[in-house]
Chain A
Amino acid sequence: MIPELGTLALVIALLLSAAQSFFGLVGAHKNKASWMQSVMPAVAGVWVFVSFAFAILTYSFITHDFSIAYVATNSNTELPLMYCIAAVWGAHEGSLLLWILILATWALLVAMFSKSLPLPFRARVLGVLGMIGVGFTSFTLFTSSPFLRLLPAAAEGADLNPILQDPALAIHPPMLYMGYVGTSVAFAFAVAAMLSGRIDPAWSRWTRPWTVAAWMCLTLGIALGSWWAYYELGWGGWWFWDPVENASFMPWLASTALIHSLAVTEKRGLFKNWTLLLAIFAFSLSLLGTFLVRSGVLVSVHSFASDPSRGLFILGLLLFFIVGSLTLYAIRAPSLRTDGGFELVSRESFLLLNNALLVAAAGLILTGTLWPLVMDAFNLGKISVGPPYFNMVFMVPTLPLLALVGIGMHAGWRRAALASKGRRLALIAGGALLVALVITMGFYGSIGLPLTVVGFTGALFVMGSALIDPITRWRNKQGMSRAALGMAVAHFGIGVFVIGISGVASYKIEKDVSMGPGDSAEIAGYRFKFLGTDNVHGPNYEALEARVAVSKGELPLTELTTQKRKFKVQTMPMTHAGIAVAWNRDLFVALGDELGAGKWSMRLQYKPLVRYIWIGAVIVALGGLIATLDRRYRVRVTADEPAPASADEAA
């Protein structure tokens, strides 16, 4: 009875989403205030019913209702409670339900915090979100319902995939989806603007905080995923250019470009075409990611159990939203006029170049991700495109970008008077090079890879450059808008991130050794002594735990434990790495296979500066948070701009 209530709740949510979409879009078109007013309760209703369905699935997991196929396949009575809850989104069907819940939540937030926007615009935005809701709720109900019964019920569940049994499962997918699905808000604003013909600075001001908020969640979500892969998969890598990682990274690049383009549209009324296109691209790439992960057209460690008929359904959704919005764009774009020009050296040029480079990066990643599929589909051979391609092509647009960020931040609108800050920037660049040489030659004793010094210099230059404004203003006891401070913080974070990449890529040391109890091995001046093994009983696994004492020279540092877990139901072995963290490096120990004669293979890694990759990403997201809280987004639009609002209603 209970799961049927879940299905019913989803059906009601589907109908309400249809109403939300119809009254929002048609109401605005016919300019019927009562229709448009009815959109808000519909949005609230969708949220209530989707949450209810979600709560029911969670309840079914907690109570181990193995008469539900999805629960039986993805949990077990011995699965700890936390994972029972997180298992709700541990596979395809439930994660789609999470997708819909997050979409409903974004729509609810937009409905709540956009009361000051003109009613027709608001109705259109919510109408577009409703349409997306109709698409994805029907996808869930008709191809991927998590509430289908398993008759007769299973006596015991098949358990959650051991790779997913980690606390990160509780936060990584929800955060990532907040970002992924959040791109739909900017998309809805763009479509609403194109429908109403109103694409102006006010529109971009309304869009910006939502875009930045979604982008911030995406940043954190991707960073969490990278961190999870680093410690859980036991390989010590932080980014694998796996198709699914790429699928989350491409919308991030497009959203980053969008944020910058929106700034120009808001301040100068320029780049409207770009901004609209980027809003569509960001959402399209996020839909494309959903398609690639769930349709089975690409091979990935992440992919869900796939089924081509689901693939065709999402492909239909994809074509409808993307081709539909791009056609609308094609109709509207020719009439968009640019209201002003700018000089070659100006903030506008820097931002345009920034957009072009970010889009180029996304395009190169897309090509690399899809190329194996193209080859395979036309029987041209099986290839796999791996890290060497991506690392190479990704640096081509991003290294110049680093320099651009450092300079562009200080360029003025219209026409940059860089001369005033030019001297200071040159000083910072010189200082950055010097520090980079000290770090590489002095600290690590070699200049590393061909681009190591470039990486450190670029990173330090961006960090220094980002600090100019906050420090000057603080010294002069001047205030700083949260938007400007947020930008400085986010750019500083990019620098920190690049420091991490440069350090770990250039100076990491990895060694696979064979060790028995009592044996020692040394890397990077750290001694790892294998003390012995113990058996450990987990709630749903048995593990063999190795204890390893780490010392530097004669100085004992810490004792690490690393486990090889064998899960009872899904007998797959999992490695749990032991990691010692310090400000300047991680030491990473992973227990490998038993080699016989009391020996074990053991992977030892020295990962200099690796933490700064994630710390940098968190600082970037923090910058986004600060910028979202800027005062001007909270000023009532009707108060400072009554004219465009009424103009829109007349239109």
Chain B
Amino acid sequence: MWRYFAPAAAFLALGALFAFALMRIQNGTLDVREIKSPLIGKPAPVFTLPLVTDPSQSFDSRSMAGKTYVVNVWGTWCPACREEHDSLLQLARVTGVPFIGIDWKDDGQLAQQYLGQLGNPYQQVVADAEGRVAIDWGVYGAPETFLVSPAGIVLAKHAGALTAAVWAEKFAPLVTSGGSR
């Protein structure tokens, strides 16, 4: 007799799971979109790329050894990058952590104009015109931001616009423990 209630009970259990997941999404403790980068805890991929501001010079990521720094992958073609630009400017100023920009699959001229008009948050900004370095970093969409420790280990990654709130929650605790300043 009671076995006929099994389908209803099974569905109620499923409903409870959904309700639980939705509530966690709503209070911000669950982000289903976040994909954990396999790079976290691993050495950051090393790169040498030409500077956007002066393509005749290049930048080697090994020069950042000993410092906590941020790698931000962006492009002028990416609306969400435009959206995060103001908070990047602010974060770079307020936190004092150096930001390294990787201008991904972009036109160097446009990128220079963009930074000229909107301000340049980056200590160094390099051009990854063919997207090879972005592949090493496992980038699947811009903007993506990584935090690298003084020992060159990737500490955290954020996909999507980097806001002050995201910084405070995901990056700030790791910056202090990283002990660069």
User: Which residues of A approach B to under 8 Å, CB–CB?
Assistant: 277, 280, 284, 291, 295-299, 308-309, 311-312, 315, 318-319, 322-323, 326-327, 329-331, 333-334, 370, 372-374, 376-377, 382, 384, 566, 570-571, 573, 593, 595-596
* Residue contact B22 to A333, C-beta cutoff 8 Å: no
CA distance A5 to B78 in the complex (A): 38
State which of B5, B18, B77 has its C-beta within 8 Å of the C-beta of A297: B18
- B33 closest partner in A (C-beta): A299
Contact A326 B11 (CB under 8 A): yes
- CA distance in complex: A291, B15 (Å): 11
Q: A373–B21 contact, CB under 8 A?
A: yes
- State which of A329, A370, A570 has its C-beta within 8 Å of the C-beta of B7: A329
Confirm or deny: B46 has a beta carbon within 8 angstroms of a beta carbon on chain A: no
Whether B55 sits at the interface, judged by CB under 8 Å, is: no
A299 CA to B34 CA in the complex, in Å? 9
Q: How far is the CA of A280 from the CA of B8 in the complex (A)?
A: 11
Asked whether A315 and B18 contact (CB < 8 A) given A329-B4, A330-B5, A377-B24, the answer is: yes
Interface string of B65-102 (1 = CB under 8 A from A): 00000000000011100000000000000000000000
Given A382-B36, A596-B129, A596-B130, do A334 and B17 touch, yes or no (CB 8 Å)?
no
Q: Which 7 A-B pairs have the closest CB atoms?
A: A326-B8, A330-B4, A308-B26, A377-B21, A330-B5, A333-B4, A311-B22
Q: What's the nearest-Cβ distance from chain B to residue A475, in Å?
A: 47
> Does B166 lie at the interface of the complex (its beta carbon under 8 Å from any beta carbon of A)?
no
Per a CB cutoff under 8 Å, which of A295, A372, A571 touches B22? A295
Closest residue of A by beta carbon distance from B1:
A334
Question: 7 A–B contact pairs at CB < 8 A?
Answer: A280-B7, A291-B18, A311-B22, A372-B32, A377-B17, A377-B21, A382-B36
Q: Is the CB of B12 within 8 A of A374?
A: no
CB-CB under 8 A from B14, the residues of chain A are 370
CB distance from B76 to the nearest CB of A (A): 9
Q: Which residue of B lies closest to A322 (CB)?
A: B11
| Chain A residues positioned under 8 Å from B32 (CB to CB) | 296-299, 372-373, 376
Inter-subunit contact B25/A312 (CB<8 Å)? no
* Contact in complex: A308, B22 (CB < 8 Å): yes
Measured CB to CB, the closest approach of chain A to B156, in angstroms, equals 15
Report the count of interface residues on B (CB-CB < 8 A): 32
Q: A373 with B17: in contact, given A308-B25, A309-B26, A327-B5 (CB under 8 Å)?
A: yes
Between B1, B21, B130, the greatest number of chain A beta carbons within 10 A of the residue's beta carbon is seen for B21
Q: A308-B22, A326-B7, A377-B24 are in contact. Are A319 and B30 (CB under 8 A)?
A: no
Nearest CB on A from B40, distance (A): 12
* Chain A proximity mask over B3-47: 1 for CB below 8 Å, otherwise 0: 011011001101101111111111000101111100000000000
List chain B residues, Cβ under 8 A from A323.
Answer: 8, 11-12, 15
Write the residues of chain B forming the contact surface with A, with a CB cutoff of 8 angstroms: 1, 4-5, 7-8, 11-12, 14-15, 17-26, 30, 32-36, 77-79, 105, 129-131
Given the interface contacts A291-B18, A295-B22, A308-B25, does A377 sit within 8 Å of B30 by beta carbon? yes
Cβ contact of A571, chosen from B4, B21, B23, B77, cutoff 8 A: B77
Q: Kindly identify which residue among A291, A308, A573, A595 contacts B77, using a CB–CB cutoff of 8 Å.
A: A573
For B79, the chain A residues whose CB sits under 8 A away are 570-571
A327 to B12: give the CA distance in the assembly, Å: 11
Shortest Cβ gap from B57 to chain A (Å): 19
Answer whether A297 and B8 are a contact pair too, CB < 8 Å, given A315-B15, A323-B15. no
Residue in chain A with minimal CB distance to B26: A308
Task: Considering the complex, give the chain B residue whose CB is closest to the CB of A376.
Answer: B32
Closest residue of A by beta carbon distance from B76: A571
Closest chain B residue to A324, Cβ basis: B8
User: What residues of chain A lie closer than 8 Å to B33, measured between beta carbons?
Assistant: 299
CA distance A571 to B1 in the complex (A): 60
> For residue B24, which residues in chain A have a CB less than 8 angstroms away from its CB?
377
Since A299-B33, A377-B24 are in contact, a sample of 10 more A-B pairs with Cβ atoms closer than 8 Å, ordered by chain A residue number, is A296-B32, A297-B21, A308-B23, A319-B15, A326-B11, A327-B5, A329-B4, A331-B4, A376-B32, A571-B77
Point out the residue from A296, A309, A329 that lies within 8 Å of B8, measured CB to CB.
A329
A326 contacts across to B, CB distance below 8 A:
5, 7-8, 11
Main secondary structure on B side of the interface with A: helix
Whether A334 lies near B4 (C-beta < 8 A) is yes
Interface pair A593/B130, CB less than 8 Å apart: yes
Residues of A within 8 A of B23 (CB): 308
Nearest CB in chain A to that of B18: its residue: A315
A593 touches B8 (CB 8 A): no
The residue from A298, A318, A573, A595 contacting B15, defined by CB atoms under 8 A apart: A318
Contact status of A593 and B15, CB under 8 A, knowing A333-B4, A376-B30: no
Shortest distance in angstroms between A275's beta carbon and chain B's nearest beta carbon? Answer: 14
**Distance, CA A596 to CA B107, complexed state (A):** 12
- A312 with B19, Cβ < 8 A, contacts A296-B25, A298-B32, A376-B32 known: yes
B122 to chain A, nearest CB (A): 21
| A295 to B11 CA separation, bound complex (whole angstroms) | 17
B25 touches A382 (CB 8 A): no
**Chain A neighbourhood of B78, CB < 8 A:** 571
Complex Cα–Cα for A318 and B32 (A): 21
User: Are the CB atoms of B11 and A595 closer together than 8 Å?
Assistant: no
**B8–A330 CB distance below 8 A:** yes
Cross-interface CB contact of A327 among B8, B18, B131, cutoff 8 Å: B8
Give the CA-CA distance A370 to B25 in the complex, in Å.
16
B20: chain A residues at CB < 8 Å are 377
Closest to A291 in B: B18
Q: How far apart are B143's CB and chain A's nearest CB, in angstroms?
A: 14
Residues in B with CB closer than 8 Å to A308 are 22-23, 25-26
Given A297-B25, A319-B12, A382-B35, answer yes or no on A593-B4 (Cβ-Cβ < 8 Å). Answer: no
Bound form: Cα–Cα A222–B154 in Å: 42
Q: How far, in whole Å, are A277 and B3 apart by their CA atoms in the complex?
A: 13
A596 to B128, CA, bound (A): 12
Give the distance in Å from the alpha carbon of A267 to the alpha carbon of B121 in the complex: 74
- A382 nearest in chain B by CB position: B36
Contacts of B8 in A (CB 8 A): 322-323, 326-327, 329-330
B10's closest neighbor in chain A, by CB? A326
Q: Which residues of the other chain, B, contact A334 by a CB distance below 8 angstroms? A: 1, 4
CA distance A414 to B20 in the complex (A): 48
| Chain A residues within 8 Å of B130, by CB | 593, 595-596
For B26, list chain A residues within 8 Å (CB).
308-309, 312
Q: Chain A residues near B18: list those with CB within 8 A.
A: 291, 295, 297, 311, 315, 318
Query: Which B residues touch A595, using CB under 8 A?
Result: 130
Give the CA-CA distance A311 to B30 in the complex, in Å. Answer: 14
B-side contacts of A312, CB under 8 Å = 19, 22, 26
Q: How far is the CA of A333 from the CA of B4 in the complex (A)?
A: 7
Cα of A570 to Cα of B32 in the assembled complex, Å: 25
The residue of chain B having its C-beta at the shortest distance from the C-beta of A280 within the complex is B7
In the bound complex, residues from chain B placing their C-beta under 8 Å from that of A377 are: 17, 20-21, 24, 30
In the complex, how many angstroms separate the beta carbon of A386 from the nearest chain B beta carbon?
13
Closest to B12 in A: A323
CB distance from B67 to the nearest CB of A (A): 30
* Across-interface contacts of A277 in B (CB, < 8 A): 7
